[in-house]
Chains A and B, each alone.
Chain A
Amino acid sequence: MAIPIESSPPPGWEREGIDGLLGLFPPGRLSEIVGPRSSGASSLLLALIARITTSGGQVAFVDGMDALDPASAAAGGVDLSMVLWVKCGSRLRVALSAADLLVRCPGFAMVVLDLDELGPMPASAHLRLQRAVEGGDTILITRSARHREGSPASLVLATRRLAPRWMGLRPLTRLAGLRSEVSILRSRPSQILTLSPLGRGQGEGKAWTLDWTL
């Protein structure tokens, strides 16, 4: 009996919130999170890392701009002892080389390449990382400000700022959080047989509204 793999999203992908989003990231493939400043992209990354580390997975975080705030990560539930933090000092090539080394080291449940506004990632680097992570169980996620056309990423999530949330009424007393939207910009299964979470184009345009609290 044939099993239509491509049309079978993983269990729970239709679930609400972060848990549903986490199920979208295909192991052994390159995924992207793109979004401008204050769009919730970094919060989404930390939430994903928190879920990986609390289930016992190891995460490598290649920090292009040395921007990771461990206090935020700990507040978000990240087990810091399970995170390998590589600070690259705003050097794009160093960050790309570090990510390349880490995706070739099996055993990490997730490798994150956080470039933010560091610069456009060369297409060749995209391809190299995609090739390096293929065939393994590692989830590779790049985070950048803009999506680059021609990227081989299997999944591209875009984040968009909706509104900040303040506490207090005239005057405001404190920042309570941020509401943002995460949408599937692209979902493209692997060319080879794989348990890809989404079929080609499946779920594109689907959006989640997420509340991040401070």
Chain B
Amino acid sequence: MKLETTASGGGLLRWQRRLGGGPWVAAWAVPLALMLFLLPEVTGAYGIRVAGTIMMYIALAQAWNLIGGYVGLMSLAHSAFFGLGAIGMTIFLINGVPLLLAGLGGVALAVSAALVVGLPTLRLQGHYFVIATLIINEALVNGFLNFSAFGFHGAISQNIIAEVGLMELDGAAYNRVFFYAMAVLAGVAMLIVMLFERSRWGLALKAIRDAEPAAAAIGISVAGVKLGIFVVSAALAATAGAVWAAWLGTVDTTSAFDITLTFEIIVMVFLGGRGTTWGPIIGVLIVFSLNEMIGVEFAELSTIISGLIVVVVVLLQPDGLIELFRQGPRALSLRVISANLRRYQVK
């Protein structure tokens, strides 16, 4: 990344430079936004649902990329944040809180959970953070399955269509609203990642990832930065969960807190390239294309295949398929691959 060396301009120009290093950012951002806006006009109901789901996964993958890719912390709690967004919003909704505020309530719950997990563990060395993030999901599933208060019963599926309150819309318009919501969320996630990359916090993240003790020694509050990113990441995942629940219209505990989701987005980010702006998007698109090809009726097969993908990527292409764009076909040459394989090998 080349850093800006000129004085910062004001307003739009500055933002443009931060997003792409030049005014050409408008050349791709505007048509892309227009295409997304018009997409519902050209696809059917199935297409728009898939497109909305892809947008959701982009948002989730970028959320995970912030903490898992840029900071290198293997958070396994993203399904927990997603679920808290969904269930939290549901609880507020059925108690009469308006939709947007209820969604914010769900996000606030997820942020508190991130603080509860992050505060004690992020200042520790080693794998305690990973473990805490892994078990928080399990704890929340068990907790909410037994939770029965404020008109919410965790053991049963909760219908919130009436509370979401978009009943006057027909099916196509309803899907379109949520597709746009997911697209905006994906855009916001992208924007956050890009701003992080180009701000001084981006440098702090890279410093922490490359050499943590040195980062602390030059004045970076390592635990503070980690916690901040973790909270932002959790809030994004929770927002996705809230939108998802509102779109679906029914919420149940086990599918809201499905840890498979966490691993899905990790697979996507690793596949595309962790710690990069575009890698996660590449990963999401590839996984969705594969799923379309294999189909859901072979669940075991797709489990095995995603496992194999992770193994192969970690061993042979640990920087992700984005290397194909960076290096061209050379990234798949035997020499590069065998060098990758030996990169982290025990001597």
| A, B co-complexed | no
